[in-house]
């Protein structure tokens, strides 16, 4: 791992990814709202912060997202959907990340392998949805998965060795998952970062545009 970029580096998983990438010999550039004023819902902010980067980066990891706006929670029923709340979730999880990805062609090497991991979630899988609920979050991640898949097709035209994938980290013990305690337990951020870096290191161009979990297994769309 050489030059790397982590966007969302102040979050629990983002911080752990910076630590793991550095331990693997990476020269890591970090971006976050807290430190750099990167507001992914503001196109001007994205253009300013991303435009200041030079690259090229062989490794990029994007860890941006919300479950719900501050003070809110994922809906349990369709009747709980609020249009403004849903729009905010999409603004961050889908449109905001799409804005970030639009800068990739300039920041990735034209020749040689590069890998971009975009943090998504298994609950964004339509085929794997068996319990319903969390409508805004699920839909925003399903839409993000489509953006990643489309980005892979576009990148392949100009960056033949570029790999980009939607990655599910598992349930990780961060502020993001406070109050949610699954029966299978939670991974530590460090464990999740190690798993995700392992997956990213082994992804091939044939897998670009795919949706994978922390063990490298395909997740149904």
Would 122 be classed as within a structural domain? Answer: yes
Where does the pLDDT of residue 182 fall: very low under 50, low under 70, confident under 90, or very high at 90 and above?
low
Tokens of 76: 């349990």
Q: What is the mean pLDDT of the chain?
A: 93
Would 195 be classed as within a structural domain? Answer: yes
Residue 183 has pLDDT above 80, yes or no: no
User: How much is the pLDDT for 172?
Assistant: 80
Would 146 be classed as within a structural domain? Answer: yes
Where does the pLDDT of residue 186 fall: very low under 50, low under 70, confident under 90, or very high at 90 and above?
low
Indicate the pTM of the whole model: 0.93
Q: Contacts by 36-43 with C-beta closer than 8 Å and gap 24+?
A: 38/7, 40/64, 40/92, 40/95, 40/96, 40/97, 40/99, 40/100, 41/88, 41/91, 41/92, 41/95, 41/96, 43/99
Q: Give the whole-angstrom CA distance, residue 35 versus residue 127.
A: 38
Query: pLDDT digit string (tens) for 147-167?
Result: 999 999 999 999 999 999 999
CA angle 75, 76, 81 (to 5 degrees): 40
Where does the pLDDT of residue 22 fall: very low under 50, low under 70, confident under 90, or very high at 90 and above?
very high
Q: What proportions of the chain, in percent to the nearest 5, are helix, strand and coil?
A: 45, 15, 40
User: How much is the pLDDT for 181?
Assistant: 62
Would 219 be classed as within a structural domain? Answer: no
Q: Give the whole-angstrom CA distance, residue 172 versus residue 188.
A: 6
The count of domains in the chain is 1
Q: What is the domain-level CATH number for residue 49?
A: 3.40.50.720
Residue 28 has pLDDT above 80, yes or no: yes
Query: pLDDT digit string (tens) for 91-139?
Result: 999 999 999 999 999 999 999 999 999 999 999 999 999 999 999 999 9
Query: pLDDT digit string (tens) for 63-93?
Result: 999 999 988 899 999 999 999 999 999 999 9
State how far the alpha carbon of 178 is from the alpha carbons of 95, 123, 126, 181, in Å.
25, 17, 24, 8
Would 221 be classed as within a structural domain? Answer: no
User: How much is the pLDDT for 179?
Assistant: 58
Q: Give the whole-angstrom CA distance, residue 131 versus residue 75.
A: 12
Where does the pLDDT of residue 1 fall: very low under 50, low under 70, confident under 90, or very high at 90 and above?
low
User: How much is the pLDDT for 171?
Assistant: 80
**Cβ contact 40:97 at 8 Å:** yes
Torsion of CA 71, 32, 99, 20, to 10 degrees: -110
Would 218 be classed as within a structural domain? Answer: no
> In the chain, pLDDT over 70 holds for what percent of residues?
93
Would 99 be classed as within a structural domain? Answer: yes
Domain residues for the domain of 200 are 3-213
Where does the pLDDT of residue 175 fall: very low under 50, low under 70, confident under 90, or very high at 90 and above?
low
Would 104 be classed as within a structural domain? Answer: yes
Residue 177 has pLDDT above 70, yes or no: no
């Amino acid at each position: 791992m050489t030059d790397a970029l982590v966007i969302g580096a102040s979050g629990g998983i983002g911080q752990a990814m910076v630590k793991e990438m550095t331990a693997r010999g990476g020269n890591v550039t970090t971006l976050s709202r807290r430190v750099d004023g990167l507001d992914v819902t503001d196109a001007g902010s994205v253009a300013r912060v991303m435009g200041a980067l030079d690259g090229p980066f062989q490794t990029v990891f994007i860890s941006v997202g919300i479950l719900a706006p501050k003070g809110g929670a994922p809906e349990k029923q369709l009747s709980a959907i609020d249009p403004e709340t849903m729009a905010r979730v999409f603004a961050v999880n889908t449109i905001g990340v799409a804005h970030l990805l639009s800068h990739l062609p300039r920041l990735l090497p034209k020749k040689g392998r590069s890998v971009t991991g975009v943090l998504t979630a298994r609950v964004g899988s339509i085929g794997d949805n068996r319990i319903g609920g969390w409508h805004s979050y699920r839909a925003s991640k399903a839409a993000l998965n489509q953006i990643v898949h489309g980005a892979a097709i576009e990148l392949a035209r100009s960056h033949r060795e570029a790999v980009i994938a939607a990655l599910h980290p598992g349930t990780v013990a961060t502020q993001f998952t406070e109050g949610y305690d699954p029966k299978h337990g939670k991974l530590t951020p460090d464990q999740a970062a190690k798993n995700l870096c392992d997956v990213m290191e082994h992804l091939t161009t044939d897998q670009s545009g795919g949706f994978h979990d922390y063990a490298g297994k395909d997740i149904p769309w």
